[in-house]
């Protein structure tokens, strides 16, 4: 049996509920700044989340919801520029402290670091977004406990492809069997499991609650805190009230 050595965290939807009131708002703001009459409402954004990556999501929106819009001759460049503005808005929203960490996230990260587990991030989001979020949650740049941040376009294929997890594992010099992944979405689960990580914990959120999590080791509504216990949707907390390091070690040992 391989010992548990590291936790690899997704960001959007897992560390914080960033999508509805963060990324979606930032996309809409970039659209209106660019003079586009596009608006992604809460329901439509749920459908657009099928596609990970903001640039990829804009392209999918045009194909699926706005085929009649007259494309500029260099669509790639147009999308990249629009997305750059969107990222600036997202970073400002994070810096305003509008989006808090999810329940139990900071507790589990602190516990894991104190227990000697290594910590990494594997996300499709833009690196500047992760930096802004970590600075907001852990204080000035570099104070957070993550040794590797795998984010955005460092790999060409985004989740559900395994690439971002494989990149993180390679940087850490770790085998997938030594890790637990913490995710919130079907695409994230697929990315982690297809990278060979068989222990995956899912924390559901409003957009992902009805997705298929077959193959996850544990599905909960949140990691939980002492006054706010985790509620199990699939799998076992084995007597624990929250997702903590001890229960993750037990889960990993049997996965």
Binding site for ligand XBP (CB under 6 A): 10-13, 19, 23, 52-54, 87, 123-126, 129, 159, 185, 187-188
98 to 124, 180, 224: CA distances (angstroms): 21, 29, 21
138: Cβ–Cβ under 8 A, 6 or more apart, which residues?
144, 145
> Catalytic residue at 10?
yes
Distance between start and end Cα atoms, the chain:
10
Which of 18, 3, 2, 6 is closest to 184 using CA atoms? 18
Eight-class DSSP state of 213? -
Contacting range for Mg ion; rule: CB under 5 A; set: 98-106, 185-193, 218-226, 247-255 = 185-193
Among 10, 17, 163, 244, which one carries the catalytic annotation? 10
User: Which of Mg ion, ligand XBP, none lies near 123, with the C-beta cut-off 5 to 8 A by kind?
Assistant: ligand XBP
Which of 253, 183, 165, 187 is closest to 220 using CA atoms? 183
User: Which of ligand XBP, Mg ion, none lies near 187, with the C-beta cut-off 5 to 8 A by kind?
Assistant: ligand XBP
> Is residue 12 a contact residue for Mg ion (CB under 5 A)?
yes
Give the shortest CB-127-to-ligand XBP separation in angstroms.
9
User: Which of Mg ion, ligand XBP, none lies near 193, with the C-beta cut-off 5 to 8 A by kind?
Assistant: none
Q: How far apart are CA 175 and CA 20, in angstroms?
A: 34
> Is residue 244 a contact residue for Mg ion (CB under 5 A)?
no
> Catalytic residue at 244?
no
Give the shortest CB-153-to-ligand XBP separation in angstroms.
9
Give the shortest CB-122-to-ligand XBP separation in angstroms.
8
Residue nearer to Mg ion on the CB measure, 100 or 139: 100
Q: Give the burial class of 111: count Cβ atoms within 10 A of its Cβ; 0-12 exposed, 13-18 middle, 19 or more buried.
A: middle
> Is residue 184 a contact residue for Mg ion (CB under 5 A)?
yes
Among 12, 163, 184, 244, which one carries the catalytic annotation? 12
Q: Which two tokens stand for residue 146?
A: 């993550």
> Is residue 17 a contact residue for Mg ion (CB under 5 A)?
no
Backbone angles phi, psi at 107, to 5 degrees: -55, -50
- For the annotated catalytic residues, the residue numbers are 10, 12
Chain contacts with Mg ion (rule: CB under 5 A): 10, 12-13, 184-185, 188
């Amino acid at each position: 049996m391989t010992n548990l050595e590291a936790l690899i965290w997704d960001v959007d939807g897992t560390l914080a509920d960033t999508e509805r009131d963060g990324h979606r708002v930032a996309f809409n703001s970039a659209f209106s700044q660019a003079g586009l009459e596009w608006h992604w409402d809460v329901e439509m954004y749920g459908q657009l989340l099928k596609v990970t990556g903001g640039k990829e999501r804009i392209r999918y929106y045009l194909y699926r919801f706005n085929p009649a819009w007259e494309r500029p001759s260099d669509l790639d460049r147009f999308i990249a520029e629009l997305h750059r503005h969107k990222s600036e808005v997202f970073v400002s929203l994070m810096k305003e402290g509008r989006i808090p960490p999810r329940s139990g996230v900071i507790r589990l990260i602190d516990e894991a670091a104190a227990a000697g587990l290594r910590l990494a991030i594997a996300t499709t989001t833009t690196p500047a977004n992760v930096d802004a979020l970590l600075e907001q949650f852990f204080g000035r740049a570099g104070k957070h406990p993550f040794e590797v941040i795998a984010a955005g376009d460092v790999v060409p294929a985004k989740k559900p492809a395994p690439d971002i997890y494989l990149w993180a594992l390679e940087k850490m010099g770790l085998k997938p069997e030594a890790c637990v992944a913490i995710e919130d979405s079907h695409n994230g689960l697929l990315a982690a499991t297809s990278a060979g990580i068989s222990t995956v914990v899912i924390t559901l959120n409003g957009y992902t609650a009805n997705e298929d999590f077959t193959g996850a080791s544990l599905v909960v509504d949140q990691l939980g805190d002492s006054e706010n216990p985790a509620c199990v949707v699939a799998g076992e907390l084995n007597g624990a009230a929250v997702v903590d390091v001890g229960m993750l070690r037990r889960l990993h040992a049997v996965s």
